[in-house]
Structure 1
Amino acid sequence: MDEMVSNNKILIIDSDKDTCRLLQFSLMKDGFEVQCVQSLREGYDVIVSSSPGIIIIDINLADGAGLEALRLIEIIKSIHPGAHVISSSVCNGNNERGKSLDSGASYFVDKPFSGKEIHSIVHRIAS
């Protein structure tokens, strides 16, 4: 079921609406098509329906933290192997970093992260 993913389409899955809005606004200024959702369920629906090439996901969400979020990363990679996942967490732990990368994330970013850091990663992926 691997539709072609578009590295111009970005999905942000994060419960912090301010983080979503700031990233969405700045990435849209760079020409990306950006959608934000606040839950794993909503994220799954968007992934299936619109094939984003870049997914930025907080692995600690209200409807699924830790293992549930890591499972979504595995599902993303099974549906769209070409998608790039940037996982993030406020917990600054090597354990979460390792588990995220083992689940298929391309990058792990500690929260709070800078917009500059995310932009650098997104532009590296998109080029």
Structure 2
Amino acid sequence: MSREISHKILIIDDDKDILDLLKYNLKKEGYEVMVERKASKSLEVARKFQPDLIILDIMMPEVNGIDVCKMLREIPDFNKTYIFFLTAKSDKGLQSLALGTGGDDYIEKITGLRALMHKVSTVLKKDLVISKRIKKIHLGDLSLERDKNMISYKNRVIILPKDEFELLYFFAQNPKKVITQNSLLNNIWGSDVYIFSKSVDAYIASICQKVGTHLITRTNKGQYKLVTS
């Protein structure tokens, strides 16, 4: 019987308690986990370990996480590796800087462990894409620009509210893939924000009304799929 290959996760954080907590919970989910407390050693460790995903703290002595991310992205082997920033700082400017240097997502430690675990599972186990460093997407008649929250569909320019834009952007990163309502709830709003399931239907109905009637379809099992031409 062939053994399923586990995904590899590297955690870089100078806080031992955070490292121990994340390592325990991620290993329990079947991931192979490596931890490193010294940011100055992170490139060497990453080269040897070759992780599928890196969880990176920002505020660390010696070298900060943003600089580590820059250096990782300059190495071809890590150009497509997921990098999630995990930080205690709630700062929009810092978030923009972190994502602008190559981070795929920015998760505040205050939002808790569940939000991180959901996102890790989404990209590694469910093979869905969630990357905020992808700034533009073009799919047939549909184009999206993250920096402007702007959508173009069949030569019409449409500005959507933030939640609707994030929903459509998530679908656009995963065209023609069937996506569950739980995946939408956990990856768009997070596990600590309570959103009624009917609200998801309402958001999607609003998107379809503004952009295209049959852009997103709903299956009999309550799942969704973006249909592009």
TM-score range, shorter chain: 0.7 to 0.9
Partner residue, 1:56: 55
Q: Show structure 1 runs of 4+ deviating over 4 A.
A: none
Give the deviation of 1:46 after TM superposition: 1.1
Structure 1 residue aligned with 2:45: 46
| Counterpart selection for 2:81 from 80, 83, 89 | 83
1:5-84 aligned at under 5 Å gives the runs 8-65=7-64, 69-79=65-75, 80-84=78-82
Q: Which residue of 2 aligns with 1:3?
A: none
Secondary structure at the aligned position of 1:61 is classed as coil
Amino acid at match of 1:58: D
Partner residue in 1 for 2:100: 102
Deviation at residue 7 of structure 1 after TM alignment: 7.8
Counterpart residue type for residue 86 of structure 1: F
Where do 1:107-118 residues align within 5 Å? 107-118=105-116
Higher strand proportion: 1
Paired residue for 1:92, among 81, 90, 93? 90
Higher relative contact order (CA 8 A, sep 6+): 1
Q: Secondary structure of the residue that 1:31 maps to in structure 2?
A: coil
> How many residues are paired up?
119
Q: Which amino acid aligns with 1:71?
A: D
The 2-side partners of 1:39 and 1:112 are apart by 23
Which deviates the most, 95-104 or 42-51?
42-51
More deviation in 6-15 or 106-115? 6-15
CA contact 2:40–2:63 (8 Å) conserved in 1: no
Deviation at 1:117, TM superposition (A): 0.9
Looking at structure 1, the residues matched to 70 and 47 of structure 2 have their Cα atoms a distance apart, in angstroms, of: 13
1:91 and 1:118 map into 2 onto residues whose CA distance is 15
Task: Tell me how far 1:86 sits from its aligned partner.
Answer: 0.5
DSSP-derived class of the 1:86 partner = strand
**Residue identity in the other structure for 1:34:** V
Give the TM-score, by structure 1 length. Answer: 0.86
8 Å contact from structure 2 (residues 6, 30) kept in 1: no
List per-residue Cα deviations over 1:8-54 (Å, max 9, x = no partner). 11010111111111110111011100011112122111111121111
CA 1:83–1:7 in structure 2 vs 1: closer, same or farther (change >3 Å)?
farther
Identity of aligned residues (%): 23
Q: Which consecutive unaligned segments of at least 5 residues does structure 2 have?
A: 127-229
Listed as ranges, the gaps of 5+ residues in structure 1 are 1-5
Distance in 2 separating the partners of 1:44 and 1:112 = 27
RMSD over aligned Cα atoms: 1.6
Which protein has the larger Cα radius of gyration, Structure 1 or Structure 2?
2
Task: State TM-score, norm by structure 2.
Answer: 0.49
